[in-house]
A and B are shown apart, each in its own frame.
Chain A
């Protein structure tokens, strides 16, 4: 048989937020290069934070990523409060969990419908789906809008929440707001069911590679998003303060996002990682859905990250309803509403310190770390986003996948690789941007 030469070079991989290139080079049937290049202009957020007030950190870091703006907000606030020695109230924690659920729902819906479904339905984007699958597109946009409306009510807007700040909330939902949110959530039920039905019909590519999965873990029976220790499927468990021992970041020349590894050559974060670590704590309805689509831990097919997102959506919807019902029962304490600004009035006492935030955002665990001086000015900052933790794992997946599918056409290989990258939902706009596949025929 003739030894095969394959050269793939996909520039600006579309339908991922950010810019990236996939470069694959196979010479005489041997894989020589397999890379995920990140080519986006770095934005230097960590550098820019130095010299700014800790009370501005949330506002600035939210702008790292529009899709995960609430997640960045919450990780930033957690790190700031950790540094300042503030313990949030029980009410604040409930509302923050609610906000995180809204964003997870929103982001997963966007990913499942607009970014992945076109692949699985065999079209180039959701635009042709408007004619071929109008009801599906309408449902997706309707669900997306509902999440957006929920965020509008809770924090002013989804892209760059306004009222969630260090110390709590500048505006608390009124009773009528709680009712409105409850109606919106319950109203989403039928669309969510239809989404589950749709997902059951989708066929995901078959591919497996065992890897280490990392996510928040805890000792309670709650599926953790907002707080917890950092755990792994290889048995590691550490306090979030030790996050640098988890990520072990290293810089590679071809990518402006840093790479990460822990117990083996790479690790993965995200919905599938969370599900693999915390499956037992999912809402019973979510478990039913997982069973229906054949998803159980430990699942090592990265393409099924999208399926895990769907399972999480069912969980988040149910848990969000439960949180609001609880808030309605206990009633909201409006004395907790705060006006902080830049803390000109020193309403929040400030001291020097170091704080870490570790929050599960839609794409996986996100770390923020700030060092502040005794005036509350940031002297050092570090943010480690999920995608830069996953990039290394994606490259290792590609290295295993390409030899397995070498007998296919370049087009098919390219699509499989693009779909693989997309299944991780890589939000590269975070640190930088992402993707283009390059088969380089020499």
Chain B
């Protein structure tokens, strides 16, 4: 067993860390305040190569694999959850769907500019009536000559308002449902009959744009069917595996930042004549944070390694998401406590972290759903079929 990162991954990790600290961290408060990631930061990120980390270089990516993707998400997660959400939706699920199941032509046309960061991707599955029960989506696609005509809407789509390319999941056969009745489509921003509304009051990750996508007789060419007709749900689940692993990695970064801030504060804040670092109550919180962080790090890196070596990693990806988001939430909660009243002050780093961390337990499948999926998978091995 070898726990050393490859040399290229070590350099990638350091480069992303330096970039994140110098280019993103100074803007992270402003990003929340203005509820927007500045265009010129997105351009810098694109030039640096952040938008295509796991994809092969022939498709405009960095060729750094899932390990590179996780290392990147960890570093970004330390400085801005909104930027991590942008990259997670863009790479982990939006572009990933095309990378995994797109035809060579679709990859050339869509993936290359996405990987280079010239275009932004989104992944649209959730509807107002279909959240956890994603198989019950209603948005319909009906064939008309060389097109499909789409009707319906999607909500809470990360990057929706800024996306150029959307991986969209629609019902093509109501009777079959998720088992053969859902098809994935690649939708361009400019397609007629497609409009976007911005949802901009959120508890956290306010710099990440979230949108409602509305389709009224939107015409999508048949060439834009992504993957096999009727197999869209499988495409969605495969992309979400990568997404959830990446979410675990971003959570790892968030938790590490919470620990770092707590250490610094405990070292300087004096009460009863000494820094609070000398109080055992503070030390215990710090030690618990560090313990969970190390467990999460091993989990995330191992999952990435399994993905890169072609092994089955789905259950581990779900565990990354579940454990990661809860470690990050607990770390943020402890960080607020260690900071006392300071930690409760609006726009102070840990207060923001506390709000930002919360979304990790909800999106890309709630943690309740992750627990169900993990348990279902474990029981399946024993021949017990769990029904939702």
A binds B: no
